[in-house]
Structure 1
Amino acid sequence: MLDGLANIAGPGLTRPNIAPEATFTAALSAASGQAVETLRNAEGLSLKALQGEADTREVVDAVMNAEQTLQAAIAIRDKIVSSYLEISRMAI
């Protein structure tokens, strides 16, 4: 299951460190925590660049990585919502 998350995320998002017997909730929590950390890193580097303390290449890499992470998070969210809607339409 985690392989699927890593494939959706692309090369910018690394696989979270989760035990194989972890629950879906734990996996999703770890992935979202890592995504937030990636976005915060890009924001911090951007602020340092504005102050003249960071290299432009580092900032561009961090922002591109954050963009890929955000796109992956949006794709995962969309899949979860569509799955929920499909399940809610099922007849019991």
Structure 2
Amino acid sequence: MISAASSISSMIERPVAVSSTPTAAVKSVAGATAAGVSQVSFVDTMAQVASSAIDTLKTGEASSIAGIQGKASVQQVAEAVMAAEQTLQTAIAIRDKVVAAYQEIARMAI
């Protein structure tokens, strides 16, 4: 499970060209600069989501091992594994959407 989330995390960390573009200000539809709005890049957000997903998967694995060793209750193991499964399904869905968007862009006429 962790290898799938790690590959998504490595895909997110690669786009240097996107993260190096300057983001000075947010502009509204009229073209005015919005003051007081903090700017968060898409790459940073996705990296944070991937990191959180990896942590959830690691927690699920650790809980499973603790359950096998008799250190965790069945309920704790079930909850951690279900959370890890949901996180993995979400990561796969995001990956599928990214691949579909890339394929759509690749099909566009120049």
| TM-score, with length taken from structure 1 | 0.76
Q: Does 1:40 align with 2:79?
A: no
Q: Does 1:88 align with 2:103?
A: no
Unaligned runs of 5+ in 1: 1-19
Q: Which residue number corresponds to residue 51 of structure 1?
A: 69
Unaligned runs of 5+ in 2: 1-37
Question: Displacement, 1:83?
Answer: 0.1
Structure having greater relative contact order (Cα 8 Å, sep ≥ 6): 1
Q: Which residue number corresponds to residue 76 of structure 1?
A: 94
- CA RMSD for the aligned pairs? 0.9
Counterpart code for 1:46: S
Deviation string, structure 1 residues 21-41 (Cα, Å, up to 9, x no partner): 211111111101100000000
Counterpart code for 1:44: A
Percent identical among aligned pairs is: 47
Larger of the two Rg values belongs to structure: 2
Give the aligned length. 73
